[in-house]
Amino acid sequence: MAKLRILEFPDPRLRKKAAAVEVVDDAMRQLIDDMFETMYDAPGIGLAATQVDVHQRLLVADVSVDKDNPWVLINPVILEQDGVEVSEEGCLSVPGYYEEVQRAEHIRVRYLDRHGKEVESEFEGLLAVCVQHEMDHLDGKLFVDYLSEAKRQRIRKRLEKDRRQKQSEPAVVL
Ligand code: GNR
Ligand code: NI
- In DSSP notation, the chain reads --PPPPP-TT-GGGGPPPBPP----HHHHHHHHHHHHHHHHTT-SEEEGGGGT--BSEEEE---TTS---EEEEEEEEEEEEEEEEEEE--TTSTT--EEEEEEEEEEEEEE-TTS-EEEEEEEHHHHHHHHHHHHHHTT--GGGGS-HHHHHHHHHHHHHHHHHHHHSPPPP-
Task: Find, among 21, 26, 11, the residue nearest to 95 by Cα.
Answer: 11
Report how far residue 125's alpha carbon sits from residue 104's, in angstroms, rounded to the nearest whole number.
10
Indicate the pLDDT class of residue 62, thresholds 50, 70 and 90: very high
Looking at residue 60, its pLDDT comes to: 99
Find residue 61's DSSP bridge partners: 46, 71
Mean pLDDT within 69-84: 98
Looking at residue 131, its pLDDT comes to: 99
Report how far residue 49's alpha carbon sits from residue 133's, in angstroms, rounded to the nearest whole number.
12
- The closest residue, in CA terms, to atom 16 on ligand 1 is 47
Q: Is the pLDDT of residue 146 over 70?
A: yes
Q: Judge whether 169 counts as a catalytic residue.
A: no
pTM of the shown model: 0.96
Give me ligand 1 centre to Cα 92, in Å.
7
Q: Is the pLDDT of residue 167 over 90?
A: no
- Lowest mean pLDDT of 18-27, 72-81, 165-174, name the range: 165-174
In the structure, which protein residues have their CB atom closer than 6 angstroms to any atom of ligand 1? Answer: 44-48, 51, 89-93, 129-130, 133-134, 137
Mean pLDDT within 69-74: 98
Looking at residue 172, its pLDDT comes to: 75
Report how far residue 17's alpha carbon sits from residue 93's, in angstroms, rounded to the nearest whole number.
16
| pLDDT tens digits for range 34-59 | 999 999 999 999 999 999 999 999 99
Looking at residue 174, its pLDDT comes to: 64
